[in-house]
Amino acid sequence: MKRSFICSVFFISLMAAGIPASPMRLAQPLADRVFSDHIRTVRLYREGWALSNPVIQLNSDQRLILTFDDLGGDVKDYYYTFFHCDRNWNISSLPREEYFDSFLEFPIIDYEYSVNTKVGYINYYLQLPNDDVRFVLSGNYALVVFDRDDPEEPLLIRRFYVTETVADIQA
């Protein structure tokens, strides 16, 4: 009786906070993937170097930039979240609260409409870490973007790395 009451309170509080109680449908191992035909030109790179791999150092001023184009025509309520992954890119068994220092889902609020193009699109922009997100553990991560209206279906997945200097090597 007591356990069922605690579980009920937990799921009600998740729904009130806007966090879906059911897990997102993600095939593992996680891979860079786009799940929608109207999402194009997805790029994740280190700020200042558009051709770089998505790698940043823990507790540094380095940032990752995610950009993608939505050919759908209307502004959508896109949100993003992260999953810490093991070396094989399966979601790790760590509770999400251990590698996040804040909430679990965040809106993507920076976007621009295309100008003078034959096909209209909206370019979405996200910088990480930001005021909402700060990484507290190094490791493999998967960034998942989803539509707020359908939080169980991912829109896109991009993998990235947060590294940590453990030892200095001097020549």
- Tell me what percent of the residues of the chain surpass a pLDDT of 70: 85
Least-confidence region, from 34-48, 75-89, 100-114: 100-114
Beta-bridge partner residues of 82: 143
Mean pLDDT of 6-19: 38
pTM: 0.81
